[in-house]
Structure 1
Amino acid sequence: MVVLNKIYTRTGDAGETALGNGTRVAKHDARVNAYGTVDETNATVGLARLHAKGDMDAQLSMIQNDLFDLGADLCRPDMEKDAEADYASLRMTDAQVARLETEIDAMNAALAPLRSFILPGGSALAAHLHLCRTVSRRAERLAVELAAVEAVNDAAVKYLNRLSDWFFVAARIANDNGADDVLWVPGANR
């Protein structure tokens, strides 16, 4: 159980922050950038949920919870030391990735194949989902960059990769199952 009695601590005033294992690092550290962008993704999902209803809202709610799990995973380095930690680290799982894949397949079954790239937009929900997609892609790039120099849970990177695909397909669903997608017209303004 998390208890936050005092919001400011002044411990970050010198430009450092604590990771999940207590290690202090610069606020511009690659790990902090990765999980910070996951948090930013979560905020964009909150905006999208203002326009979502029913199953879409329920799925977005699950994604928001997953994104907190993902942030917890990324903020805790030293995966090889998980077994000797005082408490179990929260790590993303392949089951969370598989759930996204199942949802993507179900949504995609209702859509006609794309014959053009689409522009972000259409309905308010679709526009917000495209924003979610682009921010989650940035989070993925940062997680991959981190994984090039430090250990990162493979399921965390896979989840981010599927998540941006989920947002893309969900945006098409939000655009009346693709009927209101805004198609790119190459060279239209020459």
Structure 2
Amino acid sequence: MAVTFDLFGTLVDVDYPVDPGAAVADALREYGVAVPDDWDDAYREVHIDAPEGAEVPLPAHVAAALRSRGVDAPNNAARRAVITAFDPEVTTRPGAVEAVEAAREVGPVGLLSNCSVPELVPRSLIRSDFDWHGFDAITSSVACGWRKPHPQAFEAAARNLDVDPSELVHVGDDPDTDGGVEGVGGRFVNLRETTLEELTSRLRGGRDPCP
């Protein structure tokens, strides 16, 4: 058995921008990009035709939105602006560190997070109470190219842990995304029904982590 954890809303809480499009626009201006007058519309439009379930990195979306209005973003400004805009405060959720430590006692432990912002997952971990080395593998959608609940997201996490997808027990707070592990034969611990403290108790008591 290998245990994977969702990150945002499961292990940590982050303070996202209230208006992401406006935050990105402000950062673009900092890097000398002329933000179009109808940026709010451009940011909300779909500019990249990706397969269903595929992750579109936010910098790629921002660059495409600018191009749709005839604006260039030189010197990797789109990526730099996105990283600047998403620079949140991070709070470790109660019981999260103990749950990960308990999971390590029974097998390999991974992280599987939907996140379209480069560097946000590692930066959030650094700012949390977690030891970076407490995870055997860290998989994000922006890195593997697929978002939960797509099977390829869970398959990527399993590969990174060197286990079969059916061996995964995935812990998360969103049945619509995290529950996708069941589509590859794995099992889902729904934090809307099981607390992190209860999960820790079950793992340390030698019981099945899935109620």
TM-score normalised per structure 2: 0.26
- Write 1 or 2 for the structure with the bigger share of helix: 1
